[in-house]
């Protein structure tokens, strides 16, 4: 077990949460009728029965767990605080808006509720139809989990994160939406992060794992320092939001290669020698061919892929 953290963080947390007009977050908190998970390092809710089945990669679930460490899981709780690389070998199925070492004993709340509120169902239906324009979708159920101003384990700073996972279904099709409001840290000290900055070590993972060791997805920057910038990224042209269909896997806005994402029009190379060039087509398919860098270019890493880059100009010439 991790050692007890005796640091007391004095942080004024506003009871008034940001409204929908100020961010892409769906309503949350006591005023929205939310419940809260236990105030416990690596804690989780009890198993939460849900009133409508949720289909996740062709498997139906009738309950969820909301885990303090940034995960909504199916079938079992996830107390793990250091994120492992996807796919996981142990069969756990879960959605990870921001899997990292949260400690709500320091500060922050983890809220959750299921909802059949007509206004919220209409809102999520409108959002999904905007992102999937060829799909008619009318939600009949949704589940909202929100991590509000949560600190990292071992924190001696006032850095906090606020993010959200929204699950929605009409009984057949199922969607996941991940929203980000404030991201100031990536790593707890038990994951080798810096206690003063919340950075370094093994940073947070975002995406999901189906449990079958085949279907999984990594939001760009996962388990790297770049995950700190997740609020500026998106696959639906709205920075701070990622959306997926998950009854069967569909990602709007780009292409996937080995569970990683690139936007439409992106050109990249698969290998460190830059011999296989690929382009993400508007159809969502990758077109790849043998193609090397030009003579003056060098093959350089960029996130999980490689690009051909021209030599930098010498300003003294």
| Each residue's pLDDT tens digit, 194-249 | 999 999 999 999 999 988 877 888 898 999 999 999 999 999 999 999 999 999 88
The distance of Cα 78 from the centroid of its chain, to the nearest Å, equals 15
| Residue, of 166 and 8, whose pLDDT is higher | 166
Q: What is the mean pLDDT of residues 262-278?
A: 88
**213, 229, 252 - which closes a domain:** 252
Binned at pLDDT 50, 70 and 90, residue 295 comes out as confident
97 and 158 both lie in a single domain:
yes
Distance, CA of 226 to CA of 241 (rounded, Å): 16
Residue 190 lies in a domain: yes
**252, 278, 294 - which closes a domain:** 252
Residue 185 lies in a domain: yes
Burial of 145 (0-12, 13-18, 19+ CB in 10 A): buried
pLDDT of residue 270: 86
Binned at pLDDT 50, 70 and 90, residue 100 comes out as very high
Is the pLDDT assigned to residue 178 strictly greater than 90? Answer: yes
43 and 102 both lie in a single domain:
yes
Distance, CA of 230 to CA of 179 (rounded, Å): 10
| Residue, of 8 and 78, whose pLDDT is higher | 78
280 and 216 both lie in a single domain:
no
The residue length of the chain stands at: 317
Binned at pLDDT 50, 70 and 90, residue 2 comes out as low
Is the pLDDT assigned to residue 16 strictly greater than 50? Answer: no
114 and 163 both lie in a single domain:
yes
Q: Which residues have C-beta within 8 Å of that of residue 283, sequence separation ≥ 6?
A: none
- 101-155 pLDDT, tens digit per residue, is 999 999 999 999 999 999 999 999 999 999 998 889 999 999 999 999 999 999 9
Cβ proximity of 175 and 169 under 8 Å: yes
35 and 167 both lie in a single domain:
yes
Is the pLDDT assigned to residue 71 strictly greater than 90? Answer: yes
pLDDT of residue 314: 54
pLDDT of residue 249: 81
248 and 271 both lie in a single domain:
no
Is the pLDDT assigned to residue 10 strictly greater than 80? Answer: no
295 and 200 both lie in a single domain:
no
CB atoms within 10 A of CB 307: 18
Residue 315 lies in a domain: no
Give, for 126, the enclosing helix (H) or strand (E): helix 118-131
Q: What's the whole-number average pLDDT of the chain?
A: 89
194 and 277 both lie in a single domain:
no
Residue 37 lies in a domain: yes
111 and 200 both lie in a single domain:
yes
pLDDT of residue 9: 34
Which residues form the domain of 283? Answer: 267-309
Distance, CA of 117 to CA of 107 (rounded, Å): 30
199 and 305 both lie in a single domain:
no
Distance, CA of 251 to CA of 158 (rounded, Å): 35
Residue 262 lies in a domain: no
Distance, CA of 265 to CA of 62 (rounded, Å): 39
Exposure b/e, 36-70, CB count within 10 A at least 16 = b: ebeeebbbbbeebeeeebbbbbeeebeebbbbbbb
243 and 287 both lie in a single domain:
no
Q: Which residues have C-beta within 8 Å of that of residue 101, sequence separation ≥ 6?
A: 42, 69, 81, 82, 152, 153, 154, 187, 188, 189, 190, 191, 193
Of the ranges 37-51, 201-215, 277-291, the best mean pLDDT one: 37-51
Residue 106 lies in a domain: yes
Distance, CA of 101 to CA of 219 (rounded, Å): 18
Binned at pLDDT 50, 70 and 90, residue 30 comes out as very high
Is the pLDDT assigned to residue 96 strictly greater than 90? Answer: yes
201 and 278 both lie in a single domain:
no
Residue 23 lies in a domain: no
Number of structural domains in the chain = 2
Residue 91 lies in a domain: yes
| Residue, of 9 and 129, whose pLDDT is higher | 129
pLDDT of residue 206: 96
Is the pLDDT assigned to residue 262 strictly greater than 90? Answer: no
């Amino acid at each position: 077990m991790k050692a007890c953290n005796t640091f007391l963080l004095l942080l004024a947390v506003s009871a008034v949460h940001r409204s929908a007009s100020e961010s892409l977050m769906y309503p949350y908190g006591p005023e929205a009728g939310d419940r809260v998970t236990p105030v416990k390092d690596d804690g989780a809710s009890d198993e939460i029965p849900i009133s409508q089945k949720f289909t996740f990669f062709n498997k139906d679930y009738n309950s969820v767990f909301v885990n303090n460490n940034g995960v909504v899981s199916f079938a079992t709780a996830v107390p793990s605080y250091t994120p492992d690389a996807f796919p996981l070998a142990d069969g756990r199925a879960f959605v990870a808006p921001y899997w990292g070492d949260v400690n709500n004993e320091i500060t922050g709340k983890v809220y959750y509720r299921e909802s059949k509120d007509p206004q919220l169902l209409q809102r999520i239906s409108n959002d999904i139809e905007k992102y999937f324009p060829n799909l008619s979708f009318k939600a009949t159920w949704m589940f909202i989990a929100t991590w509000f101003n949560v600190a990292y384990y071992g924190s001696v700073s006032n850095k906090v994160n606020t993010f959200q996972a929204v699950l929605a279904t009409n009984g057949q099709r199922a969607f996941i939406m991940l929203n980000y409001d404030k991201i100031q840290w990536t790593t707890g000290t038990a994951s080798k992060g810096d206690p003063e900055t919340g950075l370094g070590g093994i940073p947070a993972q975002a995406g999901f794992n189906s449990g079958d060791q085949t279907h999984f997805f990594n939001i760009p920057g996962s388990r790297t320092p770049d995950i700190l910038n997740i609020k500026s990224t998106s696959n639906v042209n709205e920075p701070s939001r990622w959306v997926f269909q998950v009854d069967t896997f569909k990602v709007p806005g780009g292409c996937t290669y080995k569970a990683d994402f690139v936007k439409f029009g992106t050109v990249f190379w698969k290998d460190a020698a830059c011999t296989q060039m690929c382009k993400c087509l508007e159809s969502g398919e990758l077109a790849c061919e043998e193609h090397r860098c030009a003579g003056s270019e060098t093959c350089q890493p960029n996130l999980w892929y490689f690009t051909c880059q021209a030599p930098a100009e010498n300003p003294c010439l």
